[in-house]
A and B are shown apart, each in its own frame.
Chain A
Amino acid sequence: MTSKTPVETPKVRDDAANWAVPAGRLRVGEVPPGAVNLNVTGRRLVGPVQGFGQLWQKTYRMRLDGIAITPPDVIREWKANYGAFWPKGNHFYAPQAGIQPGVVVLINGESLGGVEVSTGIEVIYADDESFTFMNAEGHPAAGIVTFSAARDEHGVSAQVQVLIRADDPFYDVMLPIYGHRFEDQMWTKTLVALAAHFGAHGDVTVERICVDRRRNWSQAKNIWRNAAIRSGFYMFGAPIRWVRRALKEGREA
């Protein structure tokens, strides 16, 4: 008599609910107080292949050793408190629906000269152990940012991985002067704040790989929708808008 050993059928997860549905142009729901929807509605998303500058993959990782948590615990808390982990001066206008596929979020980021860059992202992917943002046209970086948590033999670690190009020649010039430093600080401080939320402390490791050194000269035209330049004009035009509004109200009174 022969006996058959049951063969475990490999199971593959279903990813259908984890991805956003393509919508073409971005749409923003209600604009939260303080947010500026100057560079998001009507824009498209830009991936790493649509940007201008060199393609960089940067991985920021922090161990959360000594705490009894699982990767889904980390991601759940990260999603729920995402904006609170950002460094001061940057605003993530978290949607009421939370971080889930298809949600478009307005963000204000600090920049040189005190200009607040108004731009946005869409959550293109989210599951229990990771979530991914893709940037709107005009954002300094064309590409995707993936936030994840994983367990290895030593414990749990949290990670931010960006795969980006400078979106246009202006941002490309700014990248070595300011952009890389800003981004390193942004994600290092975010991970430190996330770890502190769980009562963990430690260092963030950073790995930078230039995946493609060539520039996409065909994408140089992206400069026309540069969110930093547009936000600068918008910001410095505030007094003029204020005077116009006052005059209009005076005429109507």
Chain B
Amino acid sequence: MAMTESTAPVRYRDGTAVVDLPAQIDASAERTLNEAYATAAGHGSKTVLLNFGRVEFLSSTGIALVVGILARARKDGRTITASGLSDHYREIFEITRLADFMKIYADESAALKGGEAT
């Protein structure tokens, strides 16, 4: 099987660091995700938006990585939000109860506007 490129570029919009998560989030994405968070944190953004728009495979190890980022952000006084989740990934966030602790928006624009999460 061909390996998918594991990159998570970080963009900055309206004071928010937007992390475009890679297509495959499993054990192989650990370094990519940690580096992306470190980049976002280094920029000083108080809010980090995890954009799941490109994600096509998420394993439970990948969820553990997201929890790790959530915990670090909490420690650093940052807010983590999420956008671009398919119905399937929303379900996963429900099962793991991550949805209780993370605002989820339909898309990036809605997330940047803030307000009521969906």
Q: Is the CB of A47 within 8 A of B96?
A: yes
Task: For residue B44, give the distance in angstroms from its CB to the closest CB of chain A.
Answer: 21
Q: Is the CB of B23 within 8 A of A12?
A: yes
A33-41, A143-151, A175-183 - the one binding chain B: A143-151
Q: Is the CB of A130 within 8 A of B59?
A: yes
* Contact residues in A for B98 (Cβ distance below 8 Å): 47, 49
Q: Is the CB of A12 within 8 A of B64?
A: no
Q: How far is the CA of A44 from the CA of B74 in the complex (A)?
A: 24
Q: Please report whether the interface of chain B is mostly helix, strand, loop or mixed according to DSSP.
A: helix
| Number of A residues with CB within 8 Å of any CB on chain B | 40
Residues in chain B within 8 A of chain A (CB atoms): 1-5, 23-24, 27, 56-61, 63-64, 67-68, 70-72, 74-75, 88, 91-92, 94-98, 100-101
* Contact residues in A for B92 (Cβ distance below 8 Å): 19
* 9 A-B pairs with least C-beta separation: A132-B60, A125-B60, A212-B71, A12-B56, A10-B4, A47-B97, A22-B94, A49-B101, A211-B71
Q: How far is the CA of A122 from the CA of B56 in the complex (A)?
A: 24
Task: For residue B72, give the distance in angstroms from its CB to the closest CB of chain A.
Answer: 7
Q: Is the CB of A21 within 8 A of B91?
A: yes
Among candidates B23, B27, B57, B95, residue contacting A148 with C-beta atoms closer than 8 Å: B27
* Contact residues in B for A45 (Cβ distance below 8 Å): 95-97
Task: For residue B113, give the distance in angstroms from its CB to the closest CB of chain A.
Answer: 25
